[in-house]
Amino acid sequence: MSRNAVLGALAGLAGLAATPAFSADLPVAPESVDYVRICDAYGAQFYYIPGTETCLRVGGRLRTEFRVTNFGEAENNWGNRDSDGYQWRSRGYLYLDARTATEFGTLRAYAEMYQTVTNNELSPTLEKAYVQWGGLLAGKAQSNFDFWTGYAFGAQTATYSDVKTNQLAYTLAFGNGLSATIAAEDRSSREEPLALNGVNQSYGGTRVPDFVAALAISQGWGSAQIMGAMHQIYPNSIINGTRTGGDEDDFGWAVGAGVQVNFSGIAHGGSVALQTVYTDGASAYGSDWNDRITDAVYTDTGFDTTRTFNIYGGVNLGLTNTLAANVEGGYHRVEGGTSAYDFTQWDATANVVWTPVSGLEIGPEIQYRDIDYSNSSGLSDTYELYGTFRMQRTF
Q: Say if residues 133 and 200 touch (Cβ distance below 8 Å).
A: no
pLDDT mean over 186-204: 94
Quick check: is 178 in a domain? yes
pLDDT at 49: 95
Rounded Cα–Cα distance for residues 393 and 395 (Å): 7
Q: Give the percent of the chain with pLDDT over 90.
A: 76
pLDDT at 23: 47
Q: Please state the three-class secondary structure of 88-138 as a single string.
A: EEEEEEEEEEEEEEECCEEEEEEEEEEEEEECCEEEEEEEEEEEEECCEEE
Q: Give the percent of the chain with pLDDT over 70.
A: 89
Quick check: is 31 in a domain? no
Rounded Cα–Cα distance for residues 130 and 118 (Å): 27
- Residue range of the domain that includes 209: 52-394
Quick check: is 356 in a domain? yes
User: Residue 21: pLDDT above 90?
Assistant: no
Quick check: is 14 in a domain? no
Rounded Cα–Cα distance for residues 99 and 105 (Å): 10
pTM: 0.87
Quick check: is 10 in a domain? no
Give the list of residues 6+ apart from residue 324 with CB closer than 8 angstroms, or none: 268, 270, 316, 317, 318, 352, 353, 355
Per-chain mean pLDDT for the chain: 90
Quick check: is 323 in a domain? yes
Q: Sign of dihedral through CA atoms 242, 245, 251, 252?
A: negative
Among candidate residues 312, 394, 328, 393, the one with its CA nearest the CA of residue 366:
328
Q: Sign of dihedral through CA atoms 151, 395, 95, 45?
A: positive
As for how many domains the chain has, the answer is 1
pLDDT at 320: 96
Q: Say if residues 195 and 337 touch (Cβ distance below 8 Å).
A: yes
Quick check: is 45 in a domain? no
Q: How confident is the model at residue 25 (pLDDT cuts 50, 70, 90)?
A: low
pLDDT at 10: 44
Among candidate residues 278, 253, 262, the one with its CA nearest the CA of residue 224:
262
Between 248 and 246, the higher pLDDT residue? 248
pLDDT mean over 26-30: 60
273 strand-pairing partners: 260, 314
Give the list of residues 6+ apart from residue 257 with CB closer than 8 angstroms, or none: 224, 225, 226, 227, 275, 276
Bin 40: left if φ > 0, else alpha if -120 < ψ < 50, else beta: alpha
Distances in Å between the Cα of 122 and the Cα atoms of 88, 92, 114 are: 12, 11, 11
- pLDDT, tens only, 328-357: 999 999 999 889 999 999 999 999 999 999
Q: Say if residues 279 and 252 touch (Cβ distance below 8 Å).
A: yes
Q: Say if residues 349 and 370 touch (Cβ distance below 8 Å).
A: no
CATH number at residue 100: 2.40.160.10
Q: How confident is the model at residue 290 (pLDDT cuts 50, 70, 90)?
A: confident
Rounded Cα–Cα distance for residues 305 and 323 (Å): 45
pLDDT mean over 186-201: 94
pLDDT at 245: 61
pLDDT at 379: 87
pLDDT at 29: 58
110 strand-pairing partners: 97, 130
Quick check: is 26 in a domain? no
DSSP, collapsed to helix, strand or coil, labels residue 25 as helix
pLDDT at 14: 46
- pLDDT, tens only, 155-187: 999 999 999 999 999 999 999 999 999 999 999
- pLDDT, tens only, 77-136: 777 778 888 999 999 999 999 999 999 899 999 999 999 999 999 999 999 999 999 999
pLDDT at 17: 46
